[in-house]
C-alpha cells in the first residue's frame, strides 16, 4: 500500500527543510518495512523485535535522546514531526508500540536516570535492543494517577513491590518497565494523595514480577497490552528512578509529551483516512457519476480536511512551545481533547463513504476506525483534558 507523506501540504512557519527530510525518511521506512507486512502483526498481536532494531539503526528511537548515548538530541518540535510522520501508517498498533517506547516510557529514564542507569540501559533502548513500557495505570487508577495502590517498601538493599498494573502497552514483550508505586502509603488517604509516589526500574524476569494476562482489545491489535502483577517483587535499591516520593511529578511532567504525540497520532491517522476516502470517492461510480460528484460528500470531506489542517497547526504550535520550554499545559490539553475527538469523526465519516467495503477487515479504513477509538480515551480522556483547559480560564 502506498503511504502518503502528507496529503495536506499547506505550509507552516514551524516546519523546516530538515523536518521535511525526516518526514520523507520515515515515509520510506513505512512503505518498505511496515505497510506491506503489518497485517501479520495484527494477527500475532505484537510488532517483531527485528523491526524495532531496524528503527533503532535508522535513528528513529532516539530523536530527542542525548547524542552521547546514540540519540539525535533534537527538540520537541522535531519529535512532533516524527510522531506525525510515523502515524501516517495505517497500523495504529505498530505506531503506539514505538511511541510508548520513545515518548511515554523512555523519557522517564532520560529525565531521571542516574549515570549508572543511563550507562546500563539507554544506549540499548535507543538501538531497539531493549523495549520499554510505562506501568502507571491500575484497575482503579487511570486518569486519577494519585489513586494508585501499588506499594513499595524498603527492605535493606531492596525495594519490595506489591500491586497490579493494567492496560500496559508493551507489557507482554517488553524488557524494561518503569513502574510507579507508593513509597509513603499514609499519603494515599490524605488530602495530599500525590505525595509519596516513586518510580522504579524493573527488568523482565525479576522474581515476583509476572505478566498476569495479555489483554484483548478493540483496536491496536498489533500492540501487546498486559496486566502486570507484582508480588513481593524485590528490586535493587539502585533501581529507584529519580527522587524518592517524586514520582507523581515525573509522571505529570511527561504527560505533556505523551499527550502531544497522541495528538500527532490522531492527526496522522485523520490525514490517512481522508486520503483513503478521496481515493475511493473519486473512483467509485454510482448514480451516473463518481461519489465525489455528490456535493454533500465532497463538502463534508472538505470540512474534515479543514479541521485536520487546523489541528495540525495547533500540534506544531504545541511542539514549538515545548521546544521553547514554555508552560503549555492548556494548549496540549486542547490538542489532546480536540484531536482525539476529531480523528473519530474523520475515520467514522470516511468509513461511511466507503460503504459496505469499509466495514470489511481487509480494508485500511476499517482498521483506522478501530484504532482511532482509543485516542479520545488513552493518555487522558477528553473530559479530563477539557477540565485541564477549564481550570486555566481567567483574566
Write phi, then psi, for 157 (nearest 5 degrees).
-90, 15
CB burial class (10 A; 0-12, 13-18, 19+) of residue 107? Answer: buried
Report how far residue 82's alpha carbon sits from residue 236's, in angstroms, rounded to the nearest whole number: 35
Report how far residue 274's alpha carbon sits from residue 345's, in angstroms, rounded to the nearest whole number: 11
**CA-to-CA dists, residue 246 to 30, 196, 216, 252, angstroms:** 38, 7, 33, 10
Q: Which residues of 118-147 are buried (b: 16+ CB within 10 A; e: fewer)?
A: bebbbbbbbbbebbbbbbbbbeebbbebbe
Does the active-site annotation cover 203? no
Report how far residue 183's alpha carbon sits from residue 89's, in angstroms, rounded to the nearest whole number: 40
Report how far residue 178's alpha carbon sits from residue 112's, in angstroms, rounded to the nearest whole number: 11
Report how far residue 225's alpha carbon sits from residue 238's, in angstroms, rounded to the nearest whole number: 28
Write phi, then psi, for 162 (nearest 5 degrees).
-140, 130
289: left (phi over 0), alpha (psi -120 to 50) or beta: beta
DSSP string, 269-297: HHHHHHHHHHHHHTT-EETTEEGGGSHHH
**CA-to-CA dists, residue 57 to 70, 105, 123, 314, angstroms:** 10, 20, 12, 31
Report how far residue 359's alpha carbon sits from residue 345's, in angstroms, rounded to the nearest whole number: 16
Say which of 35, 84, 258, 305 is annotated catalytic.
258
For the chain, helix, strand, coil in percent to 5 are: 55, 15, 30
Query: Among residues 73, 77, 97, 74, which one has the least CA distance to residue 86?
Result: 97
Sign of the dihedral defined by the CA atoms of residues 70, 74, 77, 82, in that order: negative
Residue 385, number of CB atoms within 10 A of its CB: 25
The catalytic residue positions are: 258
Amino acid at each position: 500500500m502506498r503511504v502518503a507523506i502528507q496529503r495536506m501540504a499547506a505550509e507552516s512557519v514551524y516546519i523546516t527543510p530538515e523536518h521535511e527530510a525526516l518526514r520523507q525518511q520515515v515515509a520510506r521506512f513505512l512503505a518498505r518495512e511496515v505497510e506491506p507486512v503489518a497485517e501479520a502483526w495484527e494477527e500475532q498481536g505484537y510488532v517483531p523485535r527485528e523491526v524495532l532494531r531496524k528503527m533503532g539503526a535508522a535513528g528513529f528511537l532516539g530523536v530527542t535522546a542525548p547524542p552521547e548515548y546514540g540519540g539525535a538530541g533534537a527538540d520537541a518540535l522535531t519529535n512532533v514531526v516524527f510522531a506525525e510522520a510515523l502515524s501516517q501508517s495505517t497500523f495504529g498498533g505498530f505506531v503506539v508500540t514505538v511511541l510508548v517506547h520513545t515518548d511515554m516510557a523512555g523519557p522517564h529514564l532520560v529525565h531521571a536516570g542516574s549515570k549508572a542507569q543511563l550507562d546500563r540501559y539507554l544506549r540499548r533502548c535507543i538501538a531497539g535492543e531493549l523495549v520499554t513500557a510505562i506501568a502507571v495505570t491500575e484497575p482503579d487508577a487511570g486518569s486519577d494517577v494519585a489513586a494508585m495502590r501499588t506499594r513499595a517498601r524498603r527492605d535493606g538493599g531492596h525495594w519490595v513491590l506489591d500491586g497490579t498494573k493494567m492496560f500496559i502497552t508493551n507489557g507482554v514483550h517488553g524488557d524494561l518497565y518503569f513502574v510507579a508505586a507508593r513509597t509513603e502509603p499514609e499519603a494515599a488517604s490524605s488530602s495530599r494523595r500525590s505525595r509519596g509516589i516513586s518510580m522504579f526500574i524493573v527488568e523482565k524476569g525479576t522474581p515476583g514480577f509476572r505478566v498476569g494476562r495479555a489483554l484483548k482489545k478493540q483496536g491496536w491489535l498489533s500492540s501487546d497490552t498486559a496486566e502486570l502483577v507484582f508480588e513481593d517483587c524485590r528490586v535493587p535499591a539502585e533501581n529507584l528512578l529519580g527522587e524518592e516520593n517524586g514520582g507523581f511529578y515525573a509522571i505529570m511532567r511527561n504527560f505533556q509529551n505523551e499527550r502531544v504525540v497522541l495528538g500527532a497520532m490522531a492527526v496522522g491517522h485523520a490525514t490517512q483516512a481522508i486520503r483513503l476516502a478521496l481515493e475511493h470517492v473519486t473512483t467509485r461510480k454510482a448514480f451516473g457519476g463518481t461519489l465525489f460528484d455528490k456535493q454533500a460528500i465532497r463538502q463534508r470531506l472538505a470540512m474534515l480536511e479543514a479541521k485536520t489542517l487546523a489541528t495540525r497547526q495547533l500540534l506544531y504550535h504545541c511542539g514549538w512551545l515545548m521546544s521553547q520550554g514554555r508552560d503549555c499545559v492548556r494548549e496540549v490539553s486542547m490538542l489532546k481533547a480536540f484531536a482525539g475527538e476529531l480523528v473519530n469523526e474523520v475515520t467514522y465519516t470516511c468509513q461511511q463513504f466507503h460503504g459496505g467495503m469499509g466495514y470489511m477487515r481487509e480494508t485500511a479504513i476499517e482498521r483506522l476506525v478501530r484504532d482511532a477509538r482509543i485516542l479520545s480515551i488513552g493518555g487522558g480522556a477528553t473530559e479530563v483534558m477539557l477540565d485541564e483547559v477549564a481550570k486555566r480560564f481567567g483574566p
